[in-house]
Amino acid sequence: MTKTSKHRHKLLSYLLLIALPLCSHADDAPLFIPQWLGAQYTFVDQNQSRVHSPYSGPLSLKSDGSTARSHTFGAYFGIALPWHLQYYWDVEMFKGEGVSNATGLGGLTNGDIIRSGTASLGKRPYVARNYLRWVLPLGDETQVVERGQDQLPGHEAVKHIEVKVGFMAVNDDFDKNRYANSTRTQFMNWSLWNNTAWDFASDTRGYTDGLMIGWVMQGWSLRYGIYRMPVEANGQALVKSLSASNGQQLELTVQPKPDGWALRFLGYRNKGNMGIYQQAIEIAELTGQTPDIHTDDKPDRHKFGFGINGELPIADNGDTGFFMRTGWNDGHTESFIFAEVDRLLSGGFQLSGAHWHRSDDRFGVGIAIEGLSHGHAQYLSMGGDGFMLGDGALRYGPEQILEMYYSIAVIDHLTISPDLQFIRNPGYNRDRGPARFAGLRAHVQF
């Protein structure tokens, strides 16, 4: 166990000791008894077509095509504690890889591959979440909470203050969307199930230490989170303290009715050991060398951005509806964590299979258009590399993505989903592509 992990476990143990004598409130879930909240297995087989490629670099899509398979396993546990406290502990494992080693695109085509191709992660089980959650009721009205991943069954106040502290995923609480939120059951392309212009703090697998505070009322909510950043771009190691480097986000959600339309307004600001595209370009021009933003990394640099996320149910008790996202970041400092995307506009719809007497089936179509800042595009055109992009040159054009999937409910707990994706200007390069991807996903969940 690393020194950081030991500190994290000591903090959680200390909080538990404080919490036990504070109050005698008992939720519907039995106190102190670990509960199994769910498990899942997801398999993805994906094939990339041959790609027109007059030149290539170290991070390009493979011109001859690529076939790859990925496997993810997860088991999820929770414990109800006194005084409205809950403890969650999840373990996961990843095996396999993404097509073209999970590089060459702004919007990667398989959300389960966790950028492993560029980070050389191990294939052993790992702790995915390890945190405490505390809920302070602000009224007497309650709602039923069903058993689920990181969700103990019982009753919870409709109006409440929520606090989470520990090791978790930032996007568990921010930028959620009913129709485009899970790569394991909905869209697989990163720019459709998430806002790729939002460079949220995490290690390579997608998790980090931090604190989230939420103020949840009837019809709206406001959430703030602060989390540890990685030491380096796409890095697994996190900085030692929040004061040294952190990612902060604030999100306002407006949803007048629980099952009605929703709009979410997100803003974020990162402080970290990041390079600046323009400075890397200027150094390259002075030295006559290829620009390398990784040698320009310095602490206390900042990146900020914004996002809007909407969902609109229209039929079938909300199982049919539309979604949209738009995202923007300053594009001044390097893409550091999630994806190499500075501008995003995406949208689409989900259609329930109830219209052809398959009520548990889903059909989805989504479109995403992504762009880079001027400095980011110029850096790549001069032969620079990021952590996902690097063709050796670039004739810039927005990356354009179309995805279609059909999720078939085969039996209880099992879905099979054929998936097709078409991408123009892969890696924002008009000299490359188009690229086509055909995939088959199997998902088992209990």
pLDDT at 28: 64
| Residues 22 and 68: beta-carbon distance below 8 Å | no
| CA dist 308 → 196, 262, 372 (Å) | 12, 11, 18
Residue 378 CB contacts under 8 Å (≥ 6 apart), including other chains: 277, 281
Contacts of 285 (CB under 8 A, 6+ apart): none
What is the C-alpha to C-alpha distance for residues 48 and 422, in angstroms, rounded to an integer?
Answer: 10
What's the confidence (pLDDT) of residue 295?
A: 83
Write down the pLDDT at residue 244: 84
Q: Give the C-alpha separation, 274 to 296, whole Å.
A: 8
Check residue 299 and give its pLDDT: 81
By C-alpha distance, which of 10, 338, 34, 8 is closest to 167? Answer: 8
Smallest Cα–Cα separation from 276: which of 284, 266, 288? 284
pTM across the whole model: 0.90
- CA 304-244-388 angle, to 5 degrees, is 50
> CA 25, 26, 27, 32 torsion: positive or negative?
positive
pLDDT at 121: 74
Cα–Cα distance for residue pair 63/103, rounded to 1 Å: 12
Q: What is the pLDDT of residue 29?
A: 74
Q: Which two tokens stand for residue 214?
A: 């939420």
Cβ neighbours of residue 263 under 8 Å, at least 6 residues apart?
253, 254, 255, 308, 309, 310
Residue with tokens 């297995």: 41
Q: Tell me the average confidence (pLDDT) per consecutive run of 10 residues in the chain, 446 residues long.
A: 47 39 47 93 97 94 95 96 96 93 95 66 89 96 94 95 98 97 97 97 95 97 97 91 93 96 98 94 94 85 97 97 98 94 98 97 98 97 95 96 98 97 98 96 96
